[in-house]
Amino acid sequence: MSVSVVRLFVLLIALPLLGAAAGNAAQATIGIAPPRVEHLVGPGAMVRDAILVTNPGDVTLRVRVEVADFSVEEDGTVVQLPPGGDPSSLARYLRVSPLEMSVSPGQRAVFRYEVKAPEQFTHLRALLSFVSEPEVPANGGPYVVIATTMRIPFYVENRRMASGVLHVLQAQVDRGDDNDQLLHLELKVVNQGDRLVRAGGRLEVQPVDGGPMDTFEVNRAGEAVLPGLTRVWSFTVGPVPPESLIVGLRLETSWRSEHRSRHLVSAVPASGD
């Protein structure tokens, strides 16, 4: 007897699926650790480790691994590319085993990987997709299967290459369009180094006429800028006082350098002005 299965595909970036399908449905929920993989190695080095996939749900999942190249656009959009075509592709040097396995409820699966770095390289990367789909009974149905895809980035960089260094192309601070108690920071940066950069920073906000200083974190999530790429970041922080403000921006541009700039933000107009 054939089984009728309708598959719905959901893409997630390092987030579990929340929610349920109506009717006679099965859904996939997994956890992945670590949320990203980064190795700093020398030419020709061998790296071996593992990625853990956990099934916290109540149905057995079939999990498979897919490897792709990727790039990141200025606005942070991740663009998946066919494996092996990009100059920074890690796909040809990466082996994952197994590529597919069943994970019972409450159990953890180990996907082991091996990377043999080439003798000449700078920065290599890949996007690992873990596609999970509930295993349905061989009879009964029909079933609606929610298959999810969770993706994590995988980086291997040459320790002999220059560290990533951010150059700030633009830094603009204004009050929020919809809420003048908030500040909006727009940053445009480019990574001029050979390795990725995770730049943290802060905004130091103080009234022009004096008063207590408020500090707000910038890029708290540690979002990376890949070598040679430009990124545009937008951050909203607050609340801030209505007076004219002096805003100091401090942004780590490398492990040993920092960008500093000062910005004047006008006071909120009085009612009736």
For residues 131 and 201, state if they share a domain: no
- Shared domain check, 99 and 37: yes
Does residue 187 lie in a domain region? Answer: yes
pLDDT at 22: 34
| pLDDT computed for residue 14 by the predictor | 44
Q: 20 with 137, same domain?
A: yes
Q: Report pLDDT for 255.
A: 86
Q: What is the pLDDT of residue 39?
A: 98
Boundaries of domain holding 134:
5-158
Q: How many domains does the chain have?
A: 2
In a domain, residue 114? The reply is yes
Question: Does residue 270 fall inside a structural domain?
Answer: no
* Of residues 20, 57, 54, 53, the one with CA closest to residue 145: 20
Domain-located, residue 134: yes
Last residue of a domain, one of 128, 158, 188: 158
- Do 99 and 195 belong together in one domain? no
Residues 6+ apart with CB under 8 A from 221: none
Q: Give me the pLDDT at residue 1, please.
A: 38
Domain boundary among 131, 158, 185: 158
> Does residue 271 form part of some domain?
no
Is there a single domain that holds both residue 254 and residue 222? yes
Cis peptide bond upstream of 207, omega within 30: no
CATH of the domain at 233: 2.60.40.10
Check residue 136 and give its pLDDT: 75
- 75, 119: one domain: yes
Q: Indicate whether 26 and 145 sit together in one domain.
A: yes
Shared domain for 82 and 188, answered yes or no, is: no
Supply the pLDDT for residue 176: 83
Residue 229 located in a structural domain = yes
In a domain, 45, yes or no: yes
Same domain, 147 and 26: yes
Regarding whether 116 and 70 lie in a shared domain, the answer is yes
Q: Report if residue 273 sits inside a domain.
A: no
Where b means 16+ CB within 10 Å and e means fewer, 70-107 reads bebeeeeeeeeeebeebebbbbebbebeeeeeebeeee
Residues 174, 253, single domain; the answer is: yes
Q: 200-204: which pairs have CB atoms within 8 A and are 24 or more residues apart?
A: 200/251, 200/252, 201/249, 201/250, 201/251, 201/252, 201/259, 202/249, 202/250, 203/173, 203/237, 203/247, 203/248, 203/249, 204/247, 204/248, 204/249, 204/250
**How long is the chain?**
273
> Are residue 135 and residue 177 in the same domain, yes or no?
no
The residue among 158, 190, 205 that closes a domain is 158
List per-residue pLDDT tens for the chain, 273 residues long. Answer: 344 444 554 554 443 322 233 334 445 678 999 999 999 999 999 999 999 999 998 889 999 999 999 999 999 999 999 999 999 999 999 999 999 999 999 999 999 999 999 999 999 999 999 999 888 777 766 767 778 899 999 999 999 999 999 999 999 999 987 888 999 999 999 999 999 999 899 999 999 998 899 999 999 888 999 999 999 999 999 999 999 999 999 999 998 899 999 999 999 987 655
